Structure 1
Amino acid sequence: MYLILAEQQLYKLYAQALADSEVTQDWSSWVEMMTINCQKCCSEAEISHPIAFRTGRQPQLSRNIRMLQIERDSWLLWNRARDTLNNTRQDLPEVIPGSSDRLIVEHHLLNNPQLRMAKAVQGWLQTIKLDERYQTDLKMAMTKLEPKRIYWEKTCHFLKSSYNANIPNPYITCLDFDATHKQKRRLCDTDEQEENDLLQIVFNLLRVGEYSKAKNICKSTGYHWLAALLSANELYHDENYYCSEANDIVYPVEGNQKRIQWIESMYELSMDMRLKLYERAIYGLLCGRIEALIPVCKTYADYLWAYTSCYIEQEIHYILVCAHQNELTDIEKHRILSDNGIRNNQLKMPSIFDEILAGCPTHIRDEALLPFNLIQKYLILADYDRLFHSILSFLHTNNELNGSLLRFSTHICLFLYEQNHSEKFNQNNFIEILTTYIHHLIELEFKDLVFYYISKLPSNNQ
């Protein structure tokens, strides 16, 4: 009952936010307000129906809550995407040669809306993944990992015991992180399991953008080499080049000055089948090798995050290679910059969705083709004509209208129409979508809202 009341209130809040924006002409605030309204409704629904939210024992109620969550996530995407595309730093200092890879990339971002959108999508996918359930699962998994000074503790203990007692040793005899491959020996079962657990936890933290937490847990469990690998992905920057001569403070140098060569090494390691599954996935994420990430992707959102993250890493790598090509060897230049080099095999943001559909399992394909996911896709690609067609297709093929989807779709269309994007789509499509929403409001007996939305139709269609 409470969920129904909350949704009814949401219809009114949407209309009020739209009316307010017509007065102020502040459409960015309108998108933000829609996000806040939906977030509030969603949070109240989750709190009011905790059993349905957490266990799914009430299928219809759980489905309604889930649709509200997806509606909220879609507004969050649109809000982030617009903010990223419309707001870029214009006060960047000119790059002093040899001083900052970070500034090189930031300058490139100013002129590359696709890369800015990709970063917005990546951040959005990380945010929506980090829900209450995911955080709880992470905390439970992390409690199993006890802080320790050295890693492979049980193996070390066995080595010490076997050395004194002359017991045959099936395990590694040194603590190099690649000792298992060099010696073709194994770890104690307990250490093996702990390492698998750690690698999965680290990957799950990276999946939601928690790089600092991932490095900290590596250090606390003795895996300092893995923490160092995660740090090596940071872009090089020396702030001291950009300080005034009167400044007496010496800033620490950040990032990895040899990142190009390091990425090349990670690229090879990420497909070394001797390594554990999640270890390869971590390396694949750091260097942008999608083949290493695909095996650990379980949902469509995971696939989209993996492809988007790899596109970003590949693009950054290419930017830095071009900026530093005078410092590269001829072999490196040929491998990266030639017609058959990495650039030709690089992901492109517009084709990511096609790449996912071409190589994903059936259940991922089905998920990718769900209405909300298609709408999100066309919003990301700014393909408004196909956005309208996908909405109409849903309206024509579904007898039972989904309130969340229709509500979100209609207001996105209204936003685009108000923002003079009407030349990018057929006005008749807009009229049909808005008319369907008006009929939906009539069924819900929202008379005041009906009159308001009728006023949004072109005068000859009212």
Structure 2
Amino acid sequence: AEEANTWKLLHCLYADSITEHPESLEDLITESTLSQQTLVSALFRSDSELRLLQLLVDWLEATAAYQEEATKTSAPVIGNNIHWSNTLHQLLLGDSLFNKDKNKAMVTCMDPDAPKRQNKVVHSDDKKDDSDLCKRIFTEVRCGKFKEAVSMCLSAGQAWRGAVLQGWILLHYLPRDDPGSPLEISGNPSRDLWKWCALGIANNISENVHYRATIGILSGHLPSSLLACQGNWEDLLWAHLKIQIEARVDKFLREHHATAEANTTSADVLELLQSELVVEDISLQQVFIAVKSLMDGKKESSYQICQRYLMLGHIRAIMQDSLEWIDSAEERFIRYLAHLVLVLRLMGKDPQHDVGDKVLVKYVTQLIDGLIDGSVECPELIAYYTSTVPVESQISLYADLMDHIHKSEFRQGVVKAGLNAGIDVPASARVAVKKAISDIQQGYGNLDLTFNQTTAVEKDKTLINRVILSLEWLSLLTNQMEEALWLSNAMIR
């Protein structure tokens, strides 16, 4: 999953880099008054740094949604349109003889504020249902499914909770066919006032942790947002980025107060909000430092390190760390690094070509060493990756491949694949034969040959058979017969 997530990240970063964007906000603002949503949309299109943060948030939400769909670990929420059904049942029974579980500490009203106002509790089953609902709401918001979170509140009979969530939506004017018709709006005209009220929920320690975190994310309150992250790298990064985006959008709207039409925030409310909700504007690099400090001693995985470098645009750092990874990482990660190098080269972003070559050589060597029984099922694969390294390395790597292929029925395919990939197969074949000759010369002392008149009894035929079979490579290549004859004579000598 981490590897797939990294490719998705690289795709969205590259797609944004090749998309044309307006150079300035002034190019987009052509009217004197605009809705908040229109104004903020223009901001995202013109501000590359803010757009990057949103791209990363979208990526984190998409990967979380995929993970949630694959695992389905969230507790189910029963949609019965009845709020606190167990509590309601107890209240309806009242003092009846059938009400054996009557609890004097239970609320006597069904409005959402009753537990706080009466300082009483709801039914234990309802409390658990509330906890499951709040956790599921946070999960939906974490997965970028805001509308689904609101719908879930409605289906659970808690429309008031859904209304609280929707206070976050920016004010927007719906298009009208008739200019004289009444103006219809969507979103919240009193968004700043809602934020100030939402801070009360986010800071209320008696509220459900996941509900506080959800409200904190929407209102831009970082401390409460972190409560549900539990030291998870992706969740912590998502929370920090969401808060940064929210803070920058709010700052932008206040700076363009005259441009954002129908901004109904009064001066006293704005003063209260700014005094209670203070978010420091930090860079992406500082965000990662903050995330690292909250990971409870956990270390980033190799994939997460790559993801961080990609987000920051530090390609050179990936190359430098690759020198350590190729000596210690598992085979699957080496494969990923090799493909990352190839993709970065296609994108024109390979600042250290020699390091990339080392990664590719390591991967090809890994593929060759993984062959068993002297056969190869897909020589085209190895030939392609071999063709991506410098010519000198191509020849030695392909010679190594030839040295591993002992079965004759696979050799023609190896030769054909190498030629199609542009590899100097004849040179590789000569290197393979010379290596076999060198091996038999080094191991000659281990051969004990006893001759009689008709036969030679060999105690070890492995090296001899191997060097003889190596000549077959030259026989499969045109115009290599003279070379084969020369090497066979050298072998006999």
Shared fold (TM-score, shorter chain, > 0.5):
yes
Contact map agreement 1:234 1:256 (CA 8 A) in 2? yes
Residue in structure 2 matching 1:113, options 38, 45, 48: 48
- Bigger shift: residues 386-395 or 85-94: 85-94
C-alpha deviation, 1:164, in angstroms: 8.1
Of 230, 245, 251, the residue aligned with 2:165 is 230
Q: State how far apart, in whole Å, the 2-side matches of 1:220 and 1:304 are.
A: 31
Q: State the secondary structure of the residue aligned to 1:141.
A: coil
Decide which moves more: 292-301 or 209-218.
Answer: 292-301
For 1:342, the aligned partner's letter is V
1:183 to 109, 112, 118: 118
In 2, the alpha carbon distance for the partners of 1:188 and 1:128 equals 36
1:195–1:135: structure 2 CA closer, same or farther, 3 Å change rule?
Answer: farther
Secondary structure of the equivalent of 2:186?
Answer: coil
- Tell which deviates more after alignment, 124-133 or 351-360: 124-133
Give 1:301 deviation, angstroms: 2.3
Which residue of 214, 219, 222 maps to 1:282?
214
1:372 aligns with 2:303: yes
Q: Report deviation, 1:191.
A: 1.8
SS in 2 for 1:360: coil
Partners of 1:95 and 1:188 in 2: CA distance: 56
Question: For residues 90-122 of structure 1, what are the alpha-carbon distances to aligned partners after superposition, in whole Å with 9 as ceiling and x for unaligned?
Answer: 599636455411121111112322322222222
Deviations, residues 392-442 of structure 1 (Å, cap 9, x unaligned) = 2212334xx422x223222222232333334xx333322322322232333
Q: Name the counterpart of 1:104.
A: 39
- Residue by residue over 1:330-386, the C-alpha shift from the partner in whole angstroms, topping out at 9 and shown as x without a partner, is 556667779x9724x245433222111112212xx22xx211111111111111111
Matched, 1:411 2:339: yes
State the alpha-carbon separation in 2 of the partners of residues 294 and 287 from structure 1. Answer: 13
Pair 87,178 (structure 1): closer, same or farther in 2 beyond 3 Å: farther
2:246 counterpart (305, 308, 313): 313
**TM-score, scaled to structure 1:** 0.71
1:437 equivalent to 2:363? Answer yes
Q: CA, structure 1 residues 216+102, in 2 after alignment: closer, same or farther (shift >3 Å)?
A: same
Equivalent pairs counted in the alignment come to: 377
Q: Which amino acid aligns with 1:372?
A: Y
Q: Please show how residues 342-421 of structure 1 align to structure 2 within 5 Å.
A: 342-343=278-279, 345-362=280-297, 365-366=298-299, 369-398=300-329, 401-403=330-332, 405-421=333-349
Larger Rg: 2
Corresponding residue for residue 484 of structure 2 = none
| Preserved contact between residue 162 and residue 169 of structure 1 (Cα < 8 Å) | no
The aligned counterpart of 1:36 is: none
2:70, 2:287 → 1: CA distance?
A: 28
Measure the CA separation in 2 of the matches of 1:297 and 1:290. 11
Does structure 2 retain, via aligned residues, the 8 Å contact 1:119–1:312? Answer: yes
- Compare relative contact order (CA 8 Å, sep 6+) and give the higher one, 1 or 2: 1
TM-score by length of 2: 0.67
Identity, % of aligned pairs?
20
1:296 positional shift: 1.8
- Counterpart amino acid of residue 409 in structure 1: L
More helix by share: 1
Q: Alignment partner of 2:335: what SS?
A: helix
Matches within 5 A, 1:59-458: 69-87=1-19, 94=29, 96-131=31-66, 134=69, 137=72, 141-142=76-77, 145-148=78-81, 150-162=82-94, 169-240=104-175, 252-298=184-230, 299-324=232-257, 342-343=278-279, 345-362=280-297, 365-366=298-299, 369-398=300-329, 401-403=330-332, 405-422=333-350, 425-444=351-370, 447-457=379-389
Paired with 1:460 and 1:275, the residues of 2 have a C-alpha distance of 67
RMSD of aligned Cα (Å): 3.4
Q: Where does structure 1 lack aligned partners over 5 or more consecutive residues?
A: 1-68
5+ residue gaps, structure 2: 372-377, 395-493
- Partners in 2 of 1:80 and 1:123 — Cα distance? 9
